[in-house]
Amino acid sequence: MRLVRYGRPGKEKPGLIDDEGKLRDLSGVIDDVDAAQLAPKALRKLEKVAHASLPLVRGNPRFGVPVARVGKFVCIGLNYSDHAAEAGMPIPKEPIIFLKANTALSGPDDPIMMPQGSKKMDWEVELGIVIGTRAQYVSEADALKYVAGYTVVHDVSEREYQLERGGTWDKGKGFDTFGPVGPWLVTPEDLYDVQDLDLYLEVNGKRMQTGNTSTMIFSVAQIVSYVSKCMTLEPGDVIATGTPPGVGMGRKPQRFLKKGDVVRLGIAGLGEQQQEVIAWKATK
């Protein structure tokens, strides 16, 4: 099942993508795709809805973040060994955890705003985990039972703020619009193997990142288990699981995003995003 939220920012409606790839309206069935709808029982109930009976949505509406009111936006750093190598950093012995601000969240095709004075704005395609059941100290063997689904995350980064200006990584990761999520939340039964998904990212039509989740240092199950021992995971929390090689700071010469660049990224089975880089502007 592919769940979505569509419409103007702040006015999104719940929907799903049917087997023919058509957008169907779910607002007559649920109020929103939120924490209450991510529980296993609620998802099973939605799965039983006759998708062909739902109203078709005409046109090409904007997609928002596929989960309403995300609680925590957790990220895992350096989770691909070849990315750690290109960053000149050692392979971590335990998952590196940092947080992105919730104000970084944006729709999958919304523009990315360049922070004022930004010099090293970079791209990172990542598999996103959406939590469906409250998780505390869960075992690796049971961890996937707590996952409602998966999505595409663009972990946009400002490397100067992240690595050169002291403090933690968070301040280079949390700028407004630095966390596009979506287009869909795909429930686990619709993926053959979450540890065998191709990822890709292009800038202005040129392939920059190519990877597969099979090369993650820490698997989805390991990540959920580990993070649940560091903090309580709540339904609706999103975890970005790290990026494969090919980021701008790892290229020779380095290449960073500039105004007018267009980034296209996606993950097999989870859909595609596309964003234009624009100048920073105040948001409502």
Q: Does residue 25 form part of some domain? A: no
Q: Does residue 199 form part of some domain? A: yes
Question: The dihedral of CA 185, 188, 189, 193: what is its sign?
Answer: positive
- Residue 201: pLDDT band (50, 70, 90) is very high
Q: Residue 152: which domain range?
A: 65-279
The answer to whether residue 203 scores a pLDDT higher than 80 is: yes
- In the predicted model, what is the mean pLDDT of residues 248-256? 94
DSSP annotation string for 114-162: EPTT-S-EE--EEEEEEE-S-BSS--TTTGGGGEEEEEEEE--EEHIII
Tokens 């939340």 sit on residue: 185
pLDDT at res. 90: 84
Q: Does residue 60 form part of some domain? A: no
Other C-beta atoms lying within 10 Å of the C-beta of residue 258 = 11
Establish how many alpha carbons lie within 13 A of residue 205's alpha carbon, considering only the half-sphere containing its beta carbon: 0
**What's this model's pTM, rounded to 2 decimal places?**
0.96
Residue 68 burial by Cβ neighbours in a 10 Å radius (0-12, 13-18, 19+): middle
User: What are residue 121's DSSP bridge partners?
Assistant: 158
Beta-sheet pairing, 206-212 with 198-203: antiparallel
pLDDT at res. 43: 97
Cα separation, 79 vs 61, whole angstroms: 34
- Count: domains in the chain: 1
Q: Does residue 141 form part of some domain? A: yes
For the chain, what is the mean pLDDT? 96
pLDDT at res. 83: 79
Tokens 């630095």 sit on residue: 178
CA 118 to chain centre: 23
Q: Does residue 219 form part of some domain? A: yes
CATH of the domain at 266: 3.90.850.10
Q: pLDDT tens digits for 12-27? A: 999 999 999 999 999 9
Q: pLDDT tens digits for 86-127? A: 878 788 999 999 999 999 999 999 999 999 999 999 999 999
Other C-beta atoms lying within 10 Å of the C-beta of residue 52 = 11
Q: Work out the widest C-alpha separation in the chain, in whole angstroms.
A: 55
- In the predicted model, what is the mean pLDDT of residues 251-273? 97
Please report, rounded to a whole number, the percentage of residues in the chain having pLDDT higher than 70: 100
Q: Which helix (H) or strand (E) holds 223?
A: helix 220-230
Q: Does residue 237 form part of some domain? A: yes
Encoded tokens for 281? 């502007």
- Residue 282: pLDDT band (50, 70, 90) is confident
Q: Does residue 6 form part of some domain? A: no
Beta-sheet pairing, 13-17 with 2-6: antiparallel
Q: Does residue 123 form part of some domain? A: yes
Q: pLDDT tens digits for 25-66? A: 999 999 999 999 999 999 999 999 999 999 999 999 999 999
pLDDT at res. 283: 79
Please report, rounded to a whole number, the percentage of residues in the chain having pLDDT higher than 90: 90
